[in-house]
Structure 1
Amino acid sequence: MTKLCSWRWVFCLVIAVLGAACTPSEKKTIRVAIGTQNATISCATGGLLVRELDLLKRYLPSEGPYKDVHYEIAWRDFSSGPPITAEMIAGNLDFGMMADFPAVMNGIASRQAGKPTLYIATLSGSAAGAGNGIVVPLDSPAHTVADLKGKRISVPFGSTAHGMLLRALSDVGLDPERDVTLVSQQPGEAEAALKAGTIDAHAAFVPFAELFPFRGVARKIYDGATTQIPTSHGMLVRAAYAEDHPEVVVGLLRAVIEADRIVERDPERYSEVIEQVTGVDAEVAYMFHGPLGVQTRDVTLKPQVLRGLRVAADTLALLQRTNASLDVDRFADDRYLRQACEASGVKYEERLARHTKVPLTDRDARTGAPIAEPKRAAQLWVTGETRVRSYESPASALAARLALEAEGRQLRAMFVHDRHTGLKLLADQAWYAESPDGDLAAFLSKDYAETWARERRGDVRQLDELKARAAQELQVNAP
């Protein structure tokens, strides 16, 4: 009996050992922890949409040394870049997405901590600096940055919008220490302050310089495109993680490239997805991700992106936010991106040399005429329609709008483009220079509109004036 029990004990032990060797818990686990900024919609193709469309699993390696790997994927959303940096340094995040100013701070802080990070891809950006802007309350008399002298301006300190604000003030000869009062506020605080009138202006980053005007909270008077200094949002990775799991880094970047392709095919649909997740209105998301958008999605590390990072480093030093320097050429590393592009059938060098926005290839929805000049283009998003209608000029779009409204149709939004910079604008808040022949040139700046009109012996109008006059003409001409 004792011998039988002994054999049973040995048998059970063998089975237990074999079972333990085959249990999934013994598989190698690789964590993929990603810090996103969902509300910063420029990062959508790197985080929000990759997650919502479940693209990452499609591209993570699963062969060779990764054949039996278990991936522990974690997504964490943040309202700004600095907390992402802290979590990356603490080893709690492997990837992070943020704008150029926070990215530079990330690069400096991580190196000081002995845990360097790499800037591995661009998600979205503007070679001219579009995306940051200055807004004022709707009833403000201010129309230019110079009008803000002696005023109280809020801005998230240390942000890319902060750098833009300092340059804008300097350009008009205002000293930020003496001529204005700067206070630090996040966008949520600023929205309430604009409504209450406790601040005179707010310098905002993506997407709030468009979102606040769209919601009727504020009026935009200045855009970063005026500075002509590049700005961007990008993806960072812990250098040690990239060294240990280069194929995983490439896999995530392939998912980003796929998300970019998907959005380009159907920007209206995925702008709706962005709204569902973030609460940022789809119309505003479309302003960024649709054709001729406020910013351009482009994964490559263009020279303009590197220049923007260097300017950010210089500005942060000027702000005394850091006393350390950053070697941008070492920080920015496109090795993994090049591999991802090759695997995804993207010609990296060709994409690197491309500097145009996603084109508007439609014809005028009213006349059928080709849309030849992007800066003259206009669009209408009609309520109940899944596609945005395009027009060759603001005048053509206005005629179509009036006809739609006469039929009882409603609009979600009307977009025009600044004739000076090409920046996409909300038509209801633009200024229009009307020439004697009836041509309309749209502008963000009232000053630019007045200059344009004066040179052509025209007049400056706003959309409500143009609509009212057109309605009167229809009544006069009615049978």
Structure 2
Amino acid sequence: MSARHLASLFSAQTSRRWLLGGISALAFIGLVVPGLAQAQAQDKASQLRIGFQKSASLLTLQKSQGSLEKRLAPHGVSVKWVEFPAGPQLLEGLNVGAVDVGFVGEAPPIFAQAAGAQFVYIGNDPAAPEAEAIVVPKDSPIKSVAELKGKKVALNKGSNVHYLLVRALEKAGLKYSDIQPVFLPPADARAAFERGAVDAWVIWDPFLAAVERQTGARIVADGRGLVNNYAYYLAERGYAARNPQIIQALFEDTVAQAQWLKANVKAAAAQIAPLQGLDTEVVERALQRYQFGVRPLTAEVASEQQKIADVFLGLGLIPKPVRIADALPTK
């Protein structure tokens, strides 16, 4: 697979609701595959390898604090963090057995499943449509998505923003073929954007917040009213089946760290910023546009993911139909 992939804070009451939803995921993990408890007892893993992107702020925070390691150490389980530049590459790592669990946006799992990757969706974070956008340089004459016709638009192929671009063009009365997509990973896309080699860039936070603050880039459209921008936790199916307690511990730690982050955004941004090589203000802005709190996939969320897969098939972006149901946990 060659394709290459990160909120406004809720009120305290809403945050608690999301966190409670995340905690409910813990009970859900035990339903991934029949006989999990027995399987785990027979073949419990001694390590959890987590595929992450440095732009995934919550996981970056967890890694830096060592909270998951402390939670799993008494059970004889170590943690290995494997960094990837974007979601598609992370899915490649999951498919070849380099990691056991990964965290990505909406599109990478679809491209990976179309390429035959074996994984299972084990949870998702709430929607964060403001955390991705189409931006243009501050002095660009482009004021709307409709004006992108014939223009060069940079994006990471197979990432969450791929679907945002498709939906934004559709709303503006344009076809995907009306623009010139330029497939670049975030660092290369930022360079091309700054030197004027592309007319627009479709990107997610914190790269979005960084280019806004550091170059004055203007948002012509974000995901509101267009996409959900869910983020998904995925696992190698066999690992999920054999090690439900390890995944449960991961989710417990994720929920706990999300709760702390929501209550301490400035402090969290100060910790995360040097790890991401960004200004604290940039990270804080990105954190305010993301939602956190892992929860089990509902039928509605799975249906939305299926819609994206069907759109990608219609555009010829994936080679064959994808059934999201085939990658859902067996109840």
TM-score, reference length from structure 1: 0.56
Secondary structure of the residue that 2:198 maps to in structure 1? coil
Amino acid at match of 1:298: G
Distance (whole Å) between structure 2 residues aligned to residue 86 and residue 51 of structure 1: 21
Secondary structure of the residue that 1:277 maps to in structure 2? helix
Distance (whole Å) between structure 2 residues aligned to residue 304 and residue 231 of structure 1: 14
Aligned to 1:224: 223
Equivalent residue runs for 1:105-124 within 5 Å:
105-109=111-115, 112=116, 116-124=118-126
Q: 1:29 to 1:157 in 2, by over 3 A?
A: closer
Aligned to 2:141: 141
Q: 1:146 to 1:108 in 2, by over 3 A?
A: closer
Q: Residue 72 of structure 1 is aligned with which of 69, 72, 78?
A: 78
Equivalent residue runs for 1:296-307 within 5 Å:
296-300=291-295, 301-302=297-298, 305-307=301-303
Aligned to 1:277: 275
Contact 1:152/1:201 (<8 A) preserved: yes
Secondary structure of the residue that 1:125 maps to in structure 2? coil
Aligned to 1:316: 312
| TM-aligned CA deviation for residue 192 of structure 1 | 1.8
Cα deviation, 1:337-361, whole Å, max 9, x if unaligned, reads xxxxxxxxxxxxxxxxxxxxxxxxx
Secondary structure of the residue that 2:63 maps to in structure 1? helix
Amino acid at match of 1:48: T
| TM-aligned CA deviation for residue 331 of structure 1 | 2.6
Q: 1:251 to 1:334 in 2, by over 3 A?
A: farther
Contact 2:69/2:79 (<8 A) preserved: no
Q: 1:315 to 1:209 in 2, by over 3 A?
A: farther
Q: Residue 253 of structure 1 is aligned with which of 235, 251, 272?
A: 251
Secondary structure of the residue that 1:60 maps to in structure 2? helix
Superposition CA RMSD, Å: 2.3
Extract unaligned runs of 5+ from structure 2. Answer: 1-43
| TM-aligned CA deviation for residue 304 of structure 1 | 5.1
Distance (whole Å) between structure 2 residues aligned to residue 208 and residue 73 of structure 1: 27
Equivalent residue runs for 1:361-372 within 5 Å:
none
Contact 1:107/1:118 (<8 A) preserved: no
| TM-aligned CA deviation for residue 238 of structure 1 | 0.8
Amino acid at match of 2:308: A
| TM-aligned CA deviation for residue 108 of structure 1 | 4.2
Equivalent residue runs for 1:226-241 within 5 Å:
226-227=225-226, 229-241=227-239
Amino acid at match of 2:106: D
Extract unaligned runs of 5+ from structure 1. Answer: 1-27, 336-479
Amino acid at match of 1:311: K
| TM-aligned CA deviation for residue 187 of structure 1 | 2.1
Cα deviation, 1:252-298, whole Å, max 9, x if unaligned, reads 11111111111012011111111110113322322243xxx323223
Distance (whole Å) between structure 2 residues aligned to residue 141 and residue 80 of structure 1: 30
Alignment identity in percent?
25
- The count of corresponding residues between Structure 1 and Structure 2 is 287
Q: 1:162 to 1:29 in 2, by over 3 A?
A: closer
Q: 1:104 to 1:149 in 2, by over 3 A?
A: closer
| Larger gyration radius, structure 1 or structure 2 | 1
Distance (whole Å) between structure 1 residues aligned to residue 270 and residue 298 of structure 2: 29
Q: 1:125 to 1:282 in 2, by over 3 A?
A: farther
2:91 counterpart of 1:92: no
Distance (whole Å) between structure 2 residues aligned to residue 326 and residue 152 of structure 1: 29
Distance (whole Å) between structure 2 residues aligned to residue 230 and residue 307 of structure 1: 12
| TM-aligned CA deviation for residue 140 of structure 1 | 0.7
2:37 counterpart of 1:31: no
Aligned to 2:31: none
Aligned to 1:53: 65
2:57 counterpart of 1:44: yes
Of structures 1 and 2, the one with the larger relative CO (CA 8 A, separation 6+) is 2
Q: 1:327 to 1:286 in 2, by over 3 A?
A: same
Secondary structure of the residue that 1:294 maps to in structure 2? coil
Amino acid at match of 2:265: P
Amino acid at match of 2:275: V
Equivalent residue runs for 1:366-445 within 5 Å:
none
Distance (whole Å) between structure 1 residues aligned to residue 327 and residue 138 of structure 2: 42
TM-score, reference length from structure 2: 0.79
Contact 1:230/1:304 (<8 A) preserved: no
Distance (whole Å) between structure 2 residues aligned to residue 255 and residue 136 of structure 1: 38
